[in-house]
Structure 1
Amino acid sequence: MDTVIPPVSEVKEHTKSASLTEYLIEAIVNGEIEPGSKISEPELAKRFSVSRGPLREAIMRVEGLGLIERIPHVGARVTTFSQKKLIDLYAVREALEGMAARLAARNMTDEAIAALEQVLSTHSEHINQSEGQSYFHQYGDFDFHYCIIKASGNAQLIALLCDELYHLLRMYRYQSPRAHSRPNDALNEHLFIFQAIKNRDEELAEMLMRRHISSSRKLIEQQIP
């Protein structure tokens, strides 16, 4: 069967939609578009000088990541966090990332372990430079948790955590610095998890990851009324 090649105009529209998706994700995560803000298609189309087609597609993608929610009789708005929503999110995260740590201890290559050790070294340097005031949070391969999830080798787990939940967690971390007011403790917990993975101790890796995320959940319970 001959391959059907889409018209150039369709390719351009798809590319434009992908770029808009990335921009909307980052703008929402870093607070440029504030939580609770109404998503206005006409306003955004004018702002980016794009047609409504690729913009609508981008908004649907971002909505699929949970960063935009549709409220009856109100319309599309940027997600806001309640304590219950965060507790539910962290409960799911605790279970799934615990599983990811177990699988990473089983499947992680020596090269990936060496790369993860370098990530932790970078984080340690940042904490020292900031005099213990902040943890180093980056997107993708520089994120300790992201690296472990990817190393699990489980496609379903990766899709759930890296596609569906990851940007919500980034949004909360970015906009709630008080939620990570224990950078030295977090680094030490990461180092213990790393050592368990390096030692191929699946049970210990899972237990330490679950305990680590549970500590973050308890902080949320204390800080959000």
Structure 2
Amino acid sequence: MKKSENENKEQIKSDNLTERLIEAIVSGEYPAGSKISEPELARVFNVSRGPLREAMMRVESLHLVERIPHVGARVINLSLEKLTELYAAREALEGMATNLACKNITDEEIETLEILLARHQSHIEEVEGASYFYQEGDFDFHNLIIKASKNEKLITLLCGQLYHLVRMYRSQSPQTNARPEKALYEHVAILNAIKARDPELAEMLMRRHIKNSRLLIENELLEE
């Protein structure tokens, strides 16, 4: 019994550390391309090597960290090529998820999306509204639609593996040309198509919306 309790504690430590590492990488605290020292991480986070090793394996599985022969672990580099690949996958998969959401979404989930967009509108009108919407609110909207698809494979891929990479690109782009009003308008159009149970229109609008997001980040990276 005691061994089981210790294992549970180690698991909790690993779970918490994974989340902390993800946030540190996504936010740029550990910059893209920077080398990661596991002994240094163990010291900074005050954890043993066991939970740290497990947390690092999880972060690697999300493709936020890569291991280079004779170099060790490092944060992935951001590039236009990787951005294009990431958003091509996101556009196809999330378009499919939106199509399925039209067929599987509940009235309660639609109401939640309506309330969410109303809140986004009020945030945009505030001083920090654009920043909030660009970094967090957009993901809330997309995640709810993905989960409304009721397709567990799409949910795992989009809300897990791709989600943090997208956040990393978004968080570390300059954001000088953020377009919260236009993005909100596009979100409203997508939701209206979902409410009308029009899967083809909803998928087309979502794919176009994600393409616009990609072009925005591409322009930001090119201007750096």
Measured in 2, the distance between the counterparts of 1:77 and 1:31 equals 13
Greater Cα shift, 193-202 or 131-140: 131-140
TM-score by length of 2: 0.91
Q: Which residue of 1 aligns with 2:164?
A: 167
Q: Which residue of 2 aligns with 1:81?
A: 78
Superposed, 1:34-113 pairs within 5 Å as 34-113=31-110
Q: 1:14 to 1:180 in 2, by over 3 A?
A: farther
Match of 1:12 among 9, 14, 18: 9
What percent of counterpart residues are identical? 62
Deviation at 1:170, TM superposition (A): 1.1
RMSD between aligned residues: 2.1
Match of 1:205 among 199, 202, 207: 202
Deviations 1:174-214 (A, max 9, x none): 22142862111111001100110111111100000011111
Measured in 2, the distance between the counterparts of 1:130 and 1:47 equals 35
Paired residue total: 221
Kept in 1, the 8 Å contact 2:122–2:129? The answer is: no
Greater Cα shift, 130-139 or 184-193: 130-139
Kept in 2, the 8 Å contact 1:135–1:183? The answer is: no
Please state whether the residue corresponding to 1:38 is helix, strand or coil: coil
Gaps of at least 5 residues in structure 2 are none
Measured in 1, the distance between the counterparts of 2:219 and 2:174 equals 14
Kept in 1, the 8 Å contact 2:95–2:207? The answer is: yes
TM-score by length of 1: 0.91
Deviations 1:100-120 (A, max 9, x none): 111111111000100011111
Are 1:130 and 2:127 counterparts?
Answer: yes
Match of 1:191 among 182, 188, 193: 188
Measured in 2, the distance between the counterparts of 1:205 and 1:15 equals 40
Kept in 2, the 8 Å contact 1:135–1:180? The answer is: no
Deviation at 1:8, TM superposition (A): 1.8
Q: 1:126 to 1:132 in 2, by over 3 A?
A: closer
The answer to which structure has the higher helix fraction is 2
Match of 2:29 among 14, 28, 32: 32
Deviation at 1:222, TM superposition (A): 3.2
Deviation at 1:75, TM superposition (A): 1.3
Question: Letter of the aligned partner of 1:88 in structure 2?
Answer: E
Deviations 1:96-143 (A, max 9, x none): 110111111111100010001111111111111138754513279x71
Greater Cα shift, 38-47 or 5-14: 5-14
Deviations 1:62-92 (A, max 9, x none): 1111111122322111122100000010000
